[in-house]
Amino acid sequence: MNPLSKKGNQFNPDIILDQKTGNLSIKGKSIPLSTDTFLSDVIQWIEQYSMEPSDATSLEIDLKYMNGSSIRTLLGILYRMKAISDSGKYVKVEWTIPSDAEDLQELSQEILLSLDIPYNISLN
C-alpha cells in the first residue's frame, strides 16, 4: 500500500499516511469547502489500511480549527482506529488542541475515553 501525502492550505490540513511506519498525521486547519473532494481518498486509504494495519499505529491530530463535517470525518477515522485496536494491534492517538478551544478539549476527551484506546491530549 502506497503512502498518501496531501499538502494542505488555508482550508485543508496537511495529511501524511504511511502503512510501513504506521504513522498517520493530520495537521493544520480542516474547514474544507467540499469534504468529499478533499478527504475521500483519505477515508479510502484509512479503510484499506484498517484491513492490513501495521503492528503499531500512531495517529497524530493537530488541528487548529475544524468544522462540523471535519469532526464527522475525524470520528470515522477514530472508529477505524478502534477497530484496528480491537483486532489486537497497538494504536495510540496523539491529539494536540489549541489551548483556547475548551469545547474541543472536552469533545476530544469524551470521544477518546469512549473508544478505549491509548491517547494523549496536549494543549498548544
Q: For the chain, 124 residues long, give each residue's pLDDT as a single digit of tens.
A: 999 999 999 999 999 999 999 999 999 998 877 766 677 889 999 999 999 999 999 999 999 888 888 888 899 999 999 999 999 999 999 999 998 888 888 889 999 999 999 999 999 8
Q: What is the pLDDT of residue 68?
A: 83
CATH of residue 85's domain is 3.30.750.24
Helix (H, G, I), strand (E, B) or coil at 101: coil
Residue 47: give the domain boundaries: 4-123
Question: Cell 501525502 belongs to which residue?
Answer: 5
Q: What is the value of pTM for the model shown?
A: 0.92
Q: What is the pLDDT of residue 31?
A: 86
Helix (H, G, I), strand (E, B) or coil at 120: strand
User: In sequence order, what are the residues at sequence separation of 6 or more whose Cβ sits closer than 8 angstroms to the Cβ of residue 4?
Assistant: 15, 16, 17, 41, 42, 45
Specify whether the CB–CB gap between 7 and 26 falls below 8 A.
no
HEC assignment per residue over 12-75: CCEEEEECCCCEEEEEEEECCCCHHHHHHHHHHHHHHHHHCCCCEEEEEEEEEEECHHHHHHHH
The span from the CA of 118 to the CA of 124, in Å, is 20
DSSP 8-state assignment for residue 6:
E
Q: What's the structural domain count of the chain?
A: 1
